[in-house]
Amino acid sequence: MSTVTPFSHAQFVRVAETARERIAFVLDGVEVEALAGDTLLTAILTQQRHLRCSEFSGEPRAGFCLIGACQDCWVQSEDGTRLRACSTPLREGMRVRTQFNRSAEYTGGGAQ
């Protein structure tokens, strides 16, 4: 089940630079759009309220430092590759998962 929510429930609301090229990507199995130049974090949080759930508490997370220092914004590509959402540029056609079995990361497992 996707965590993609209607725009009105997004964490980030875009108020400037709205004329940039639109880029399609797949978020938790749902095709959505963001803008050229967005990071994955921006692209995801303009679509939904939270980035992922904490592997420790299960509580929703939306990133913490937003500059690549805290390890709080990891997501995965559909092939299981870990991506730091705050510093990974969005690319056309990316397929990103925010819901996954995080224990596989720590045991060396790949995509679930």
Question: Does residue 110 lie within any of the structural domains?
Answer: no
pLDDT per position as a tens digit, 14-67: 877 888 999 999 999 999 999 999 999 999 999 998 888 877 888 887 777 777
DSSP state of 23: E
Question: Does residue 112 lie within any of the structural domains?
Answer: no
Q: Residue 7: what pLDDT?
A: 43
pLDDT per position as a tens digit, 79-89: 999 999 999 99
> Looking at this protein, which amino acid is placed at residue 36?
A
Q: How many domains does the chain have?
A: 1
Domain span at residue 27 reads 7-101
Question: Does residue 62 lie within any of the structural domains?
Answer: yes
| Domain of residue 26, CATH code | 3.10.20.440
As a whole number of angstroms, the distance between CA 32 and CA 36 comes to 13
Question: Does residue 109 lie within any of the structural domains?
Answer: no
Question: Does residue 67 lie within any of the structural domains?
Answer: yes
On whether the pTM is more than 0.85, the answer is no
* Nearest one of 42, 53, 36 to 12, comparing CA atoms: 42
Where does 4-71 show beta strands of DSSP type E? 22-27, 30-35, 52-53, 60-61
Question: Does residue 47 lie within any of the structural domains?
Answer: yes
Question: Does residue 60 lie within any of the structural domains?
Answer: yes
Question: Does residue 2 lie within any of the structural domains?
Answer: no
Beta bridge partners, 24, equal 33
| Residue 12 or 49, more confident | 49
| Residue 87 or 3, more confident | 87
Buried b (16+ CB within 10 A) or exposed e, 78-93: eeeeebbbbebebeee
